[in-house]
Structure 1
Amino acid sequence: MVLSRQPVPSFVQLAAHPLRWQLLTTLSGGDYRVREMATLVGEPQNLISYHLRLLRDGGLVRATRSSFDGRDSYYHLDLDRCTQMLAGTGTALHPALVLNPAPPPFDPTPPIAVLFVCTGNSARSAIAEALLRQHTGGRVDAISAGTHPKPGMHPNAVRVLREEFGIDIAGQHPRHLDTLADRRFDAVITLCDKAREACPEFGDDTRWIHWSIADPAAPGDADEDTYPTFQATAAEIDTRIRYLLPILTTEPRIRSVR
C-alpha cells in the first residue's frame, strides 16, 4: 500500500530556507529595516526584500511604515502567529507533539533594569513600563522616559491601563531621557521610530531592542475617538512584553544596528 503524500506544513515551507530562517532569527531580537537586515546577514537588499515578502505573505512577518522616514518600513515577527503555526507543525507530525503554551519561570538573578523610550513618554513607553512591572511582579526595575516628554500622561493611556489591566498610573508624570544619563540599563527598548534615532548610547553592555509602534494619539481627535487605537496599542505592547521575558536573561545573539 502506498501512503498518500501529506502536505508540508506552512511553517516548515517558509522557515526551512536558510536565508529566511536567518531573517526570522534576526527579527526575533527586534524590529529592523531592510537595509539593516542586509547588513546583519550580509546579503543584497533586493534578495532580503524578496524573502521578506514571502514571510509576510505566509503571515510570519509584518511591516509598519516608519514614523521617522515614511519611505522606510520596519519588519517584525508576528509572534502569536508563529506560535500557532509551530503548534500546527508539531501536531501535523504526531498528535502528541502539542506545543506547551506555559511560559518558562522568570526569576532574574541579579536584578534586571529595563528602560522604555518613546518621544513623549505619555503613552507607549509608559504603558510598556507598567505592563513589564505587572508581568514580573516588580522583579524587573522597569522605567520609561521620552526624548521630548509631554506635560502629562495621555488620558487614554491612563484609561486603558486601568480598564484593561487594572493598573493605575494616574499619578505618574512623563520623564525626560536626559535625567537618566548616568543610569545603567541591561536593556533599552525604543517604541518609537523617531526616539530610536535620537536615543543616546547607554554603553556596550546594554541590549538594544526596537519595537516600531505607531503613536496611538492622533492630533486633533477627541480622546473617545482614539481610545480603540490605544486598546490595540496596549494589546500589542502586552504581547511583546510576554515574549520579551524569556530573552531578558539570555545573551543577545544580535547587536542592534542603529
Structure 2
Amino acid sequence: MLAMVPSGEAVLPPFVRLVAHAVRWRLLSELARSDLRVRELVALVDQPQNLVSYHLRLLRSGGLVVARRSSFDGRDSYYHLDLERCAHALAAAGAALHPALRLVPAQPANAAGESAAPSVLFVCTGNSARSPIAEALLRHRTGGRAEVTSAGSHPKPLLHPDAVRVLRQRYGIDIADRRPRQLDTMTGRRFDYVISLCDKVREVCPEFDDRPQRLHWSIPDPAATGDGTAQAGYPAFDRTAAEIDTRIRYLLPVLAQTPHREVQP
C-alpha cells in the first residue's frame, strides 16, 4: 500500500508557475532568438493580440521579459528576454526539487570551439558605438575565431571616444585605430548572422543574397538621452557594453552549432 502524501499543496517555484503555459513558453522561445514587437509575436504564436499582451504582462511582472520603447517609432515597443534572469531562475527551480539538480549556467566565454568560425555582421546607424562594441566583444570572446565585422547605415566619421574608452578600460580591447564602415559595402559578402542593434537600422537593413539569420537586439543609443539630442556620458556606454557582452555570451553556444561558411573578402 502506498504511503499517504502529507496534506497541503506543494509550492511551485515562481519560474515553473510562470513558464508552465503553452503561450508563455512559445513567447519565451521566440524572444530567446530575437527582440520582437507585439505584432510580430502575434503572428509567430498565432494568437489574438489581447491574449499575447496579457501573457507578456505576466512575463514582465515575473522579471523574465523587458519592454523598451522603439527608437524608430516611439508608439511601439520591443520585447527582450532577460536570459541572465532566466538562467538563474531555472537554476533555482532545479535546486528547489533537489540540491543535486541545481543547474549551473554554462560559462560560454570562448565557447565557439576550435572548429567553429561563424560569420557575423553587427549593424547600427552610426557604427560608432553599439555595433563596433559588439564586433570587438565577439572577436574577444571567441579568441578571434569568429569572422565578425560591423557597419552602419549612416556611419559617423569616427568612433565615439567613450566606446573606445569603455572597451579599453573594462575589457582591455583597443579599437582606437578603427573607422566606421558603410553598410552598403557589406551587401556582397556572405554572413551566417546579421544582427541589428538599433531599431532604426532594422527598418533599412538590406537583404543579403545568401539569406543569413536575421536577429535584432533593441539597445538604446548610449550617446543620446531620452530625447535623442544630448550626450549621455560614459556611464551609459558602460551599461551598454555590459548588456552587449551579456547577449554575446549567450549567443556563443548558438554560434558554436553553426556550420562554418567561407566569407568572401
Q: State the TM-score bracket (shorter-chain normalisation).
A: over 0.9
Report what 1:124 is aligned to.
130
Q: Distance in 2 between matches of 1:48 and 1:60?
A: 15
Per-residue deviation, 1:107: 1.5
Is the aligned partner of 1:226 residue 2:226? no
Q: Distance in 2 between matches of 1:227 and 1:139?
A: 30
Q: How does 1:164-243 map to 2 (within 5 A)?
A: 164-203=170-209, 205-218=211-224, 221=230, 226-243=233-250
**CA offsets per residue over residues 69-120 of structure 1, 9 Å max, x none?**
0000000111111011001100000011111233364216452110000000
Report what 1:53 is aligned to.
57
Identify which of 251, 255, 262 aligns with 1:244.
Answer: 251
TM-score (norm 1): 0.92
Identify which of 23, 43, 47 aligns with 1:43.
Answer: 47
Given the superposition, is the C-alpha separation of residues 89 and 137 from structure 1 closer, same or farther in structure 2, using an over 3 Å criterion?
same
Report what 2:261 is aligned to.
none
Q: Distance in 2 between matches of 1:94 and 1:6?
A: 14
**CA offsets per residue over residues 162-191 of structure 1, 9 Å max, x none?**
000000000000000011111000000000
Does the residue aligned with 1:164 lie in a helix, a strand or coil? helix
Number of aligned residues: 249
Q: Which runs of 5+ in 2 are unaligned?
A: 259-265
4+ long deviations beyond 4 Å: 219-222
Identity score, percent: 63
Corresponding letter in the other structure for 1:233:
T
Q: Distance in 1 between matches of 2:130 and 2:151?
A: 10
Q: Distance in 2 between matches of 1:234 and 1:198?
A: 24
Identify which of 106, 113, 117 aligns with 1:107.
Answer: 113
Paired residues of 1:113 and 1:141 also in contact (CA < 8 A): yes
Report what 1:73 is aligned to.
77
Q: Tell me how large the CA RMSD over aligned residues is.
A: 1.6
TM-score (norm 2): 0.90
Q: Distance in 2 between matches of 1:203 and 1:34?
A: 28
Report what 2:34 is aligned to.
30
Per-residue deviation, 1:34: 0.2
Per-residue deviation, 1:220: 5.8
| Range moving further from structure 2, 74-83 or 98-107 | 98-107
**CA offsets per residue over residues 187-221 of structure 1, 9 Å max, x none?**
00000000000100113531110000000002664
Does the residue aligned with 1:162 lie in a helix, a strand or coil? helix
Paired residues of 1:119 and 1:192 also in contact (CA < 8 A): yes
Q: Distance in 2 between matches of 1:194 and 1:102?
A: 33
Corresponding letter in the other structure for 1:10:
P
Per-residue deviation, 1:122: 0.1
Q: Distance in 2 between matches of 1:108 and 1:181?
A: 28
Does the residue aligned with 2:99 lie in a helix, a strand or coil? coil
Report what 1:82 is aligned to.
86
Q: Which runs of 5+ in 1 are unaligned?
A: 252-258
